[in-house]
């Protein structure tokens, strides 16, 4: 993870939205013709676009009110138990029409682009009824995101006290149609939400239908979520703040990729970050993601996440870049398509306004992207005066 392949004085040739040649400038320049449009990066570094492999980026409204309540002493779980939290966003998202949710989604997509993120995974999970979940998945796809079905994000208001009834509905009526719109299925596996036994039932059924599995595991308690992810051969286990060493070893044994979300620890005012160094020691292919959502992690900024990963979890800048590009791409099964600058891959890249990659996490709270390209087209360019 520390070995970045850096090409000093490099260049790239893009053709039909793909990288056609990548290498030393004098080699690539030989392929330039009169018809080639030349973009001068001005000596800045070029990186693959970030791949954000864990977000909840489609929702209506926000929860700035709960942010204030937490500052005044309420915990995330207390607010949830009182009917706020995820359920507050569910009520808001159910009411909203598809166009309103899409508009909000477009606004946040700009934020991702400004941060240099070019591939975004997004989960449903603020609908929690068949219609509202499918509405979310349609919006996620319209935004061009990798879709994950998260019907098991919370027990909705009308099923309080009847979690088993909701799990039945999810398995019988929601999973099969969701499969047409989403390649992955996720569960919020947590004692107070979906305990391991129920999570297992849902995920086993999802696997049977052909979903790839992702699991919100051990975020607030060590409930065996990581071991469950390993047992089921999940693609990723996400969060892992409370996972014990046995759980980490299980992930390593099963080749499950850990997705670490330091933005949620930071925003909730916590101090328990996942054991990233131990995971790397065990050979796990770490992924970093924003977890962008209206509750625990209201940031779409991957540069901010890199800063937190370095300062709070002691990743080196190079490790943080690997975790947020190629490792993240592999966790979405897109490792052959995005996540690095190699001939044949999609031309998703960022001209970063710095000349040393270590500046990215070092200057924190800054969005360093100078220009962002997806499939060879510029989707964001910094204004001259910014
Ligand atoms: O990953 N933990 C569950 N889901 C999100 C929070 C979603 C919300 O609060 O709206 C998370 O932190
Ligand atoms: Fe999440």
Question: Residue 386's pLDDT is what?
Answer: 58
**How many Cβ atoms are within 10 Å of 62's Cβ, its own excluded?**
16
C-alpha 216 to ligand 1 mean position (Å): 9
**pLDDT tens-digit readout, 298-313:** 999 999 999 999 999 9
* pLDDT score of 173: 98
Q: Find the residues whose C-beta lies inside 6 A of ligand 1.
A: 56, 85-86, 89, 188, 216, 219, 264, 291, 293-297
Q: How far apart are CA 199 and CA 6, in angstroms?
A: 42
Contact (CB, 8 A) for 293 and 300: no
Closest ligand 1 atom number to CA of residue 76: 9
Using CA atoms, how far apart are residues 186 and 55, in angstroms rounded to an integer?
A: 12
Q: What is the pLDDT of residue 166?
A: 98
- Residue 384: per-residue pLDDT: 73
**Residue 383: predicted pLDDT:** 86
What pLDDT, on the 0 to 100 scale, is given for residue 274? 98
Pocket test for ligand 1, best of 125, 188, 238, 265 (most atoms within 8 A of CB): 188
| Inter-residue contact 298 to 59 (CB < 8 Å) | no
**Strands lying side by side in the sheet with 349-352:** 45-48, 349-352, 369-374, 377-381
Q: Are strands 236-239 and 257-260 parallel, antiparallel or unpaired?
A: parallel
- The answer to whether the CB of 250 falls within 8 A of the CB of 230 is yes
Distance 128 CA to ligand 1 centre (A): 14
Domains identified in the chain and CATH numbers: 10-49+347-381 (2.30.40.10), 52-331 (3.20.20.140)
Task: Kindly identify the ligand whose nearest atom is closest to the C-alpha of 60.
Answer: 1
Pocket test for ligand 1, best of 86, 237, 265 (most atoms within 8 A of CB): 86
Cα separations (Å) of 112 from 120, 176, 300, 376, 379?
A: 8, 31, 5, 17, 11
Q: How far is the CA of 151 from the centre of ligand 1 (A)?
A: 13
Reported as a single tens digit per residue, the pLDDT across 124-156 is 999 999 999 999 999 999 999 999 999 999 999
pLDDT of residue 83: 95
| pLDDT recorded at residue 385 | 62
Q: State in Å: Cα 320 to ligand 1 middle.
A: 22
User: What percent of the chain is modeled with pLDDT above 90?
Assistant: 99
**Which pTM does this prediction carry?**
0.98
- pLDDT-flagged residues of the chain (< 70): 385-386
Q: Write the CA distances from 298 to 51, 151, 344, integer angstroms.
A: 17, 21, 34
Q: How far apart are CA 239 and CA 220, in angstroms?
A: 9
């Amino acid at each position: 993870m520390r070995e970045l392949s850096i090409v000093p004085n490099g260049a790239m040739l893009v053709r039909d939205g793909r990288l056609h040649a990548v290498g030393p400038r004098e080699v690539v320049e030989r392929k330039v013709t009169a018809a080639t449009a030349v973009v001068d990066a001005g000596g800045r570094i070029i990186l693959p676009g970030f791949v954000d492999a864990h977000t909840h980026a489609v929702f209506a409204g926000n929860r700035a009110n709960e942010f204030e309540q937490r500052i005044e002493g309420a915990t995330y779980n207390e607010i949830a138990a009182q009917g706020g939290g995820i359920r507050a966003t569910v009520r808001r998202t159910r009411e909203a029409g598809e166009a309103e949710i899409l508009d909000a989604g477009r606004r946040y997509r700009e934020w991702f682009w400004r941060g240099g993120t070019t591939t975004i995974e997004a989960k449903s999970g603020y609908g929690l009824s068949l219609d509202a979940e499918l509405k979310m998945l349609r919006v996620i796809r319209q935004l061009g995101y990798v879709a994950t079905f998260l019907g098991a994000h919370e027990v909705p208001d009308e099923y309080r006290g009847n979690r088993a009834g909701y799990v039945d509905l999810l398995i019988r009526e929601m999973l099969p149609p969701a499969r047409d719109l989403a390649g992955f299925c996720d569960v919020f596996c947590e004692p107070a939400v979906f305990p391991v036994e129920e999570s297992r039932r849902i995920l086993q059924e999802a696997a049977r239908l052909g979903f790839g599995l992702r699991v919100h595991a051990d975020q607030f308690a060590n409930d065996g979520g990581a071991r469950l992810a390993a047992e089921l051969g999940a693609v990723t286990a996400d969060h892992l703040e409370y996972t014990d060493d046995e759980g980490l070893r299980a992930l390593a044994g099963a080749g499950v990729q850990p997705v670490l979300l330091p933005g949620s620890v930071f925003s909730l005012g916590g101090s328990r970050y996942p054991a990233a160094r131990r995971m790397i020691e065990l050979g796990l292919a770490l992924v970093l993601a924003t977890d962008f959502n209206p509750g625990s992690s209201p940031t779409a900024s991957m540069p901010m996440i890199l800063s937190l990963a370095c300062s709070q979890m002691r990743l080196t800048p190079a490790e943080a870049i690997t975790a947020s590009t190629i490792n993240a791409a592999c966790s979405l099964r897109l490792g052959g398509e995005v996540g690095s600058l190699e001939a044949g891959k999609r031309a998703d890249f960022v001209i970063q306004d710095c000349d040393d990659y270590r500046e990215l996490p070092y200057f924190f709270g800054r969005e360093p992207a100078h220009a962002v390209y997806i499939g060879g087209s510029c989707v964001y360019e910094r204004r001259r005066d910014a």
